[in-house]
Structure 1
Amino acid sequence: MVQIGTDRLRVRPIEAADEPHVRGYAGREDFCPYLPVDPKQPETVVSYVRQQIQPEGLDSGTAIALAIVPGGVDRPVGTITVSVQPFPVPIGQLEFTLDPEYRGRGYMTEALESVLPMAFRDLGLLRICAASDVDNVDCQNVLERIGMHQTKRLPEYRTVNGEKRDAFLYVLDAQPATQ
């Protein structure tokens, strides 16, 4: 996978050297109350970050892990992973993170809009799915801006700080090839 982007924003394959930067923002109190990450328990931060930068299937070409690097910033401020889930047809699971300091600037929307067509093509996907905590309106807005549609509520999708949390399932289907 090649680097894509503009002077404003680059999306590139994530590297091992990026882990400390991602761990730095994922370990902050304001990172995301909707994920199984507890800054008071560093092992949860390490586990979550490693899952983001080395998703299952990365070595076999059934996953991609990318870093989001804004222009003028020398480190990743976000990640995007797409993993192919075992299913009779190829369906991708989309996950993404963004440093709270860089939210609200359109970086994630721009990055996802450039990455998803490539993920469909390179991973041979027919559909990409993403889950958003029912209370995470910002995430839901991003998913809707990139064309994903909410399809159903997933009861007790994730446990965060000992509490079962529901999520909404979002989907985006591959566009038919134009003739």
Structure 2
Amino acid sequence: MAILETIVIAFWAMLPAYVPNNAAVLAGGGQPIDGGRTWGDSRLLGDGKTWRGTAAGIVAGLALAGILNLVAADVSNAIGIDVPEFAPLAALGLAAGAMLGDILASFLKRRTGRQRGAMFPGVDQLDFVVVSLPLTALLAPDWFFKVFTWGVIAVVVILTPVLHVTTNVIAYKLGLKNEPW
């Protein structure tokens, strides 16, 4: 697989995992998942992890996977690279795994004494990848191992932090986030 093809497939395959956290920021608010509970002297997750944001993120990832499925053949023909269609359980694994990864990162932040919005290098950029890929492999193994070759996984691990930092800076400049990371 040529490098350009690998990059395109990696980006396309990860879109249902890339979008949920952004959608959660836009639709968030409401009841926190942890209900205000604490563990020791800090919140379990914090006010930034809400049921509404989580649900909106998962729905956004699933909707995007559906839209990508509708245009996959046309995109493949236009660019000369066969982009994958998403099996329903693969889309669910990517979207829900992204949200779960972000929730687990919030839990880790609280356990390490970091406040909401505090920087946590590495974890902030790859939390959703570390959970969405294994969850997708568990829910849709045939699809996962066909799409996520070692080369695609390597591109995801390299590309994701760059995209994460870039989109967060844009969201910060647009006033959608309180910090640029």
- TM-score, length basis structure 1: 0.29
More strand by share: 1
Pick the structure with more helix per residue.
Answer: 2
Larger Rg, first or second structure (1 or 2): 2
TM-score, length-scaled by structure 2: 0.29
